[in-house]
Amino acid sequence: MKKYLLLTFFIVNLFASEPRIITLSPSLNEIVFALGSGKNIVANTQYCNYPLESKDILKVGGYASISLEKILLAKPDLILAQNYDEQLLKNLKKLNLNYYSFKTDNLTSIKTTINSVAKLLDKQNEAKILIHDIDKKLNEVSNIVQNKDILIVISPRTDLSKSIYVTGNNLYFNDIIKASGNQNAFKSKTLAQPVVNVEKIIKMNPDIIILLAPYIHENNITFDELKKPWKKIPTKASKSGNIYIIDKEYAGIPSHRVKYFMEDFKDILLNVRDK
C-alpha cells in the first residue's frame, strides 16, 4: 500500500511540474523557451515564430484575434498573457482559467517578467542567467559616444509622406539609449505610440538614425533603397552618414533577446565613434 501511495504521489508531482502552457505573445513565448520549458507550450499565437519550433505549435489567434474556443480546446494549466488586452484578461477570468499577465515595455519590466515567469515554472536559476546577460550587454554600450540625439524608427518605409512611427520615452529602447550616455531625439511624456512626419524629424535634428526593418527582405527592399529617402532629410545624421539599419526581428520583441539588440546598438555606436 505504501509503495502504491508513493508511486501515485510521484506521478501526480511529475505532471504538476509539467504544466500545459499557452503563451499569448511572442515575448512571453520566447522567455518560456529560454527558461527551458518550451516543450510544455501547447498553444501560442501566429506571431510566435522564435525559436523555429514555435511555428509548429497550435495557434490560437493574433494580437487582437485570440480565440477563447481554441484556448479551451488546448486544455491549458497555465496561460501567460500581456497586460494590454483588458477584455481578453476579463474573459480568461470569467472562464476560471489560470492566467497571469505581464508588462514588457521597459527593461525593468522585461526583467521582472523573466523572474515572475521563472518562479511559476521553477526556473529561477535560468532566469538569473538571462538577466545577467541583459545587464552585461547594457553595461557594454556605456560611454562609447555621448550626448547624441538618437532617433529609432519602427518599420520604416521608403515613402516618407506617410506616418512615421518612432520609439517613445517609455520603452526599453529609451532605457538603452540613456544607459549609453545619449538621449532619445523624440521627447514626450505620452504613453501612446509616437507618430511623426518629416518636418518633425527635421526639427528634432537627430545625430543618429536607426531604422528597425525586420521585414525588409520579405518586401524585397535593399538597404540602399531604404536609406535613400532618409539621406535626403536635412539632419545631422544624414550629413554625417549616421543612418543605420537593424534588420533582425528580435529588435522589436521585448524578451531576453533584447541583449542582441544591444549588441547591434553597440556596433552602431562604435561605428559612429570611429568615423
Tens digits of residue pLDDT in 56-113: 999 999 988 999 999 999 999 999 999 989 999 999 999 999 999 999 999 999 999 9
Average pLDDT, the chain: 93
Tens digits of residue pLDDT in 139-179: 999 999 999 999 999 999 999 998 999 999 999 999 999 99
Mean pLDDT is highest, among 188-197, 199-208, 216-225, for 199-208
Q: Which CATH class is domain 17-124?
A: alpha beta
pLDDT for position 17: 63
Any idea which fold 139-274 has?
Answer: Rossmann fold (3.40.50)
pLDDT for position 214: 94
pLDDT for position 8: 43
pLDDT for position 16: 53
Query: Is 90 exceeded by the pLDDT of residue 224?
Result: yes
Nearest to 175 by CA among 84, 267, 85, 259: 259
Beta bridge partners of 44: 59
Helix (H) or strand (E) holding 172: helix 172-179
Beta strand ranges found along the chain (DSSP E): 21-23, 41-44, 58-59, 78-82, 99-102, 149-154, 164-166, 183-184, 195-196, 208-212, 243-246
pLDDT for position 189: 81
Task: Kindly indicate the confidence band of residue 190, based on its pLDDT and cuts at 50, 70 and 90.
Answer: confident
Question: What is the pTM (predicted TM-score) of this model?
Answer: 0.91
pLDDT for position 218: 87
Residue position matching grid coordinates 513565448: 29
Tens digits of residue pLDDT in 11-69: 444 445 689 999 999 999 999 999 999 999 999 999 999 999 999 999 999 988 999 99
Tens digits of residue pLDDT in 232-267: 999 999 999 999 999 999 999 999 999 999 999 999
| Count of CB atoms situated within 10 Å of the CB of 239 | 12
Task: Kindly indicate the confidence band of residue 9, based on its pLDDT and cuts at 50, 70 and 90.
Answer: very low
Percent of the chain having pLDDT more than 70? 94
Cite the residue boundaries of each domain of the chain with CATH code 3.40.50.1980. Answer: 17-124, 139-274
Interatomic CA distance for residues 70 and 67, integer angstroms: 5
